Chain A
Amino acid sequence: MKPGLILAATLAASAAQAETLTVYAPDYFASEWGPGPAIRDAFEAECGCELEYVTGDLLPRILLEGERTRADVAIGFNSDVMKQARETGLFGPHGLDLSPLTLPIDWDDDIFVPFNWSYTAFVYDNTKIENPPQSFHELVNSEEDWTIAIQDPRTSISGLAMVLWGKEVFGDEAEDAWAKLAPKVTTVTRGWSEAYGLFTDGEVDMVLSYTTSPAYHIIAEEDETKSAALFEEGHYFLVETAAKLGNTDQPELADRFMAFILSPTFQEIIPTANWSYPAALPEDQWPEAFSQLNYPEKAIFLNEDEAAALRDEAIEEWRAAFSQ
């Protein structure tokens, strides 16, 4: 009887102690050099609980685990996969007031809360290219012998963003546009890291990346040789969101974390840890280098239905053009 009681008491004590919120996140987010650790520390200080990240391919993992997933919150859904995530029925409403959001678009979703955003852009070395393209049309049609590295839309979020961006800009002529771009593209990589590595190695003049990429070089390296080419047609707007699991066993902590996402503490970590724009922070509170950057005037945003509807066709056209 006695050992049983002690065991029960110990279990109860450790259960009370170990209020743990499990957050599924992409690897880059939770890594030592991502925003994850600072966000965890700030949240733990506030909630008196523990926050544990589980990393990996976010959506495939949750789809694999289904109802039995240990996740309480999942952070890092791109708008291009939100539809699929929503259709799992695994996520519950956040119940938050979204008025703190400072996105360049309207956002009104009862499940997914945006935490950062960015614009896809072609980043170039401004010591090598003096007359960068002013538009997507110019990039495609130019006679200049620029060399470009892009990412495969089938394996990378930014690659997928590019084909959707192109589809919006060129419409029915997207395939022709890709065919004209193809000779300038030195190579197509699996992910952003490989392509950006080729760019910083001087292997290509331009790389598909984000308008905020130069901010990293300016702030962390005091290097002002990298710029993003601004296109008059507008730039593809990528937003990353978080959602609460519907059957989480930590509903209160999960709700607190969802609310924490919109707090200044969380948002101030985003720019220089994630190198993207914060979703709920007025522009005058951004780091200085972010304000130095030029901004696209127009956001091209596809909501999840539009993105899902265009995705297969856009990838097929891109693939057909690049396979010739």
Chain B
Amino acid sequence: MARRVFAISLWPGLIAAALVALLSLGTLAAVALRAESFSALNRFDWLAVRFTLVQAALSAALSVGFAIPAARALARRRFRGRTLLVTLLGAPFILPTIVAILGLTAVFGRSGAVSVLLGWAGFEPISIYGFHGVVLAHVFFNLPLATRLLLQGWGTIPAERFRLAAALQFGPRDLFRHIEIPMLREIVPGALTVIFLICTTSFAVALTFGGGPRATTVELAIYEAFRYDFNLGKASLLALIQVLICVAAALVSLRFGVPQIGQVGLDRTVQRFDAAGIGTRSADAFWMALVSLFLLAPLVAIALRGATGLADLPAPVWEAALRSLLTALGSAALAIVLSLTLALSALRWRWLEGVGMTAIAASPLVMGTGLYIMLFAVTDPANWALLITALVNAAMSLPFILRALGPALATAERDYGRLADSLGMTGRTRLRFVLLPRLGAPLGFSAGLAAALSMGDLGVITLFARPDSATLPLQIYRLMGSYRMDQAMGAALLLLGLSLALFYIFDLWGRRRA
């Protein structure tokens, strides 16, 4: 590929990378420059770093570990409502933290459904609070992402290979070894990295389910430095550690990312000849049931609690919902432009993907503060609240989108690049006729993910918003903060519904095109 004249212009990708770097590292620099002193980290800060790493590593391993059989089962089964199930299974990932916390406690809490069932069976109730609670919550959040990324991976295996495998009389085990493992080797390191990084910046979840200050993450330490001591030096130092953790993890993941050997498929519907046996049937059913129960029960709990409050939501909640929808659509559009240009240029320079990943390591608090400092120098930041929210959320969703888009783009370029070269297709023509048609599914997924993530985000907006420009998650917090728990749960259900609808529509659109 290197000797070929590159067929698509690289500069949009470089601009996108520069923008992302400005948002993640530039904001950190802005905060550091404002710092008056840099105090050293104390023992507690290092304990926070350790806790962060350990819980993130375990959460990532468990999320991906459970996702492999679940995604495999979903990949080789076709049944009515499968699309809907896949969408619903994705829901936890896009839930706002506060909503998820309430959903999880309704199921796994002391007076939750699981404890009640255990009580009937004569067992002690379980406790969700403590280290295992943090990991459980993180698996709840991230198992859906891992499942989707792996499902995407299974989707990239050409149908012909399964035919060939059937012709060679491969059993499920041979198939796994020769076809599925190579795919997993390509997808799993990226999935692990992304989830590890998401968990490193965890804050409210870790605090609520951690049970106490043992569960202090780096992000909490940043918050503390910023909010209580207004020690910008320490906040930026901690944020830098977070970035270093990210860079290390990304390097490790790049090292393990083994490129697949090119094999061109004809995009036929995949027939899984291996899936008929009773053994695989029951195994698949088991995994799908287990994962569905784990992920859907909290959602059902939210729906049950929110249903009553949904009826009498006050007008400002609906206004906020509209504002959130528009912001989410803008965020999705920005995310697609940024990620597509980045991914195209990353075909040539892989390190660009690393730049795209840095957004995930950035502390939302530092990013918001840095942006605030930069904007305040020239204008009133509050006037830009929604645009900033859209942009920051687009940047935050890049790491996930790049994981979904990058491999698909690489595959398309690898499989059809030479053909396109020989036809002299470059620039926009190549993008339109060769690459985009092969990217329908990941693009739809990406737009849906970006939109839904933006819907649920409550990070930067709190730093910028005017009282009358609140988004839906912010309204939920406000309702809770003024004792209106029932209305808050109603608004949470509305948010859940809107996020899911956005995701579903984009995702469906993508797969129709694929």
Q: Using a CB–CB distance below 8 Å, which chain A residues touch chain B?
A: 27-28, 30-34, 36, 52-57, 59-61, 63-65, 68, 70, 84, 147, 152, 154-155, 182, 185-190, 192-194, 196-198, 200-204, 213, 216-217, 220, 275, 318-319, 322-323
Contact = CB atoms under 8 A, between A and B. Distances in A.
Contacts of A220: 483
A187 B220 contact: no
27 contacts: A27-B478, A28-B478, A32-B478, A33-B478, A33-B481, A54-B382, A56-B463, A60-B227, A60-B369, A64-B372, A70-B380, A155-B207, A155-B223, A155-B227, A185-B211, A187-B211, A190-B207, A197-B98, A201-B111, A202-B111, A203-B109, A220-B483, A318-B213, A319-B44, A319-B213, A323-B212, A323-B214
A120 B191 CA distance: 45
B212 A28 contact: no
Given A27-B462, A187-B129, A188-B211, A64 B480 contact: no
B228 interface: yes
Interface string B477-492: 1111111110010000
A28 B227 contact: no
Nearest to A32: B316
A186 B128 CA distance: 9
Nearest to A213: B483
Nearest to A62: B230
A200 B484 CA distance: 11
A84 B230 contact: yes
B323 interface: no
A132 B108 CA distance: 27
B176 interface: no
Given A33-B479, A194-B101, 11 more contacts: A27-B478, A56-B463, A147-B110, A155-B207, A155-B220, A186-B127, A187-B211, A192-B481, A193-B98, A196-B480, A197-B488
B52 to A, nearest CB: 15
Contacts of A55: 465-467
A175 B260 CA distance: 58
B470 interface: yes
Given A33-B482, A187-B129, A64 B208 contact: no
B471 to A, nearest CB: 12
B203 interface: yes
B479 A194 contact: no
Nearest to B111: A202
Interface in B471-505: 474, 477-485, 488
A203 B478 contact: no
B376 interface: yes
Contacts of B463: 56-57, 61
A155 B373 CA distance: 22
Nearest to A209: B483
A233 to B, nearest CB: 24
Nearest to B476: A193
B105 A188 contact: no
B230 A197 contact: no
Nearest to B481: A28
A147 to B, nearest CB: 7
A154 B208 contact: no
A189 B224 CA distance: 14
A28 B476 CA distance: 11
A216 B224 CA distance: 30
A155 B224 contact: yes
A90 to B, nearest CB: 13
B110 to A, nearest CB: 6
Contacts of A318: 213
Contacts of B369: 60, 64
Interface string B212-241: 111000001001101110100000000000
Interface string B444-479: 000000000000000000111111001000100111
Contacts of A68: 376
A211 to B, nearest CB: 14
A198 B477 CA distance: 14
Contacts of B316: 32
A182 B129 CA distance: 13
B467 A36 contact: yes
B478 A31 contact: yes
A240 to B, nearest CB: 14
B485 A64 contact: no
Given A53-B467, A196-B480, A154 B220 contact: yes
Contacts of A193: 98, 477, 480-481
B177 interface: no
Contacts of A70: 380
A217 B486 CA distance: 12
Contacts of A323: 212-214
Contacts of B220: 152, 154-155, 190
B106 interface: yes
Contacts of B211: 185-188
Nearest to B369: A64
Contacts of A54: 382, 466
Contact of A322 (B109, B212, B376): B212
Nearest to A273: B482
A33 B485 contact: no
Q: Which of B34, B220, B228 has its CB near the most chain A CB atoms (within 10 A)?
A: B228
A33 B466 contact: no
* The 5 A-B residue pairs with the shortest CB-CB distance in the complex, in nearest-first order: A33-B482, A193-B480, A31-B478, A30-B467, A322-B212
Contacts of A154: 213, 220, 223-224, 228
B314 interface: yes
Contacts of A319: 44, 213
Nearest to A152: B207
Contacts of A197: 98, 101-102, 480, 485, 488
Most B C-beta atoms less than 10 A away, residue of A32, A52, A275: A32
Contact of B373 (A59, A64, A185, A201): A64
Contacts of B110: 147, 186, 203-204
A10 B316 CA distance: 33
B208 A32 contact: no
Residue from A189, A192, A220 with most neighbouring chain B CB atoms (10 Å): A189
A65 B376 contact: yes
A190 B111 contact: no
A44 to B, nearest CB: 15
B276 interface: no
Contacts of B481: 27-28, 31, 33-34, 192-193
A194 B478 contact: no
Q: Which of A187, A196, A198 has the most CB of B within 10 A?
A: A187
B209 interface: yes
B204 interface: yes
Contacts of A187: 129, 208-212
Contact of A201 (B109, B207, B466, B483): B109
Contacts of B477: 27, 193
Nearest to B112: A203
B217 to A, nearest CB: 11
Nearest to B47: A323
Nearest to A65: B376
Nearest to A324: B214
A198 to B, nearest CB: 6
Given A32-B314, A53-B467, A196 B109 contact: no
B96 to A, nearest CB: 12
B470 to A, nearest CB: 7
A275 B484 CA distance: 12
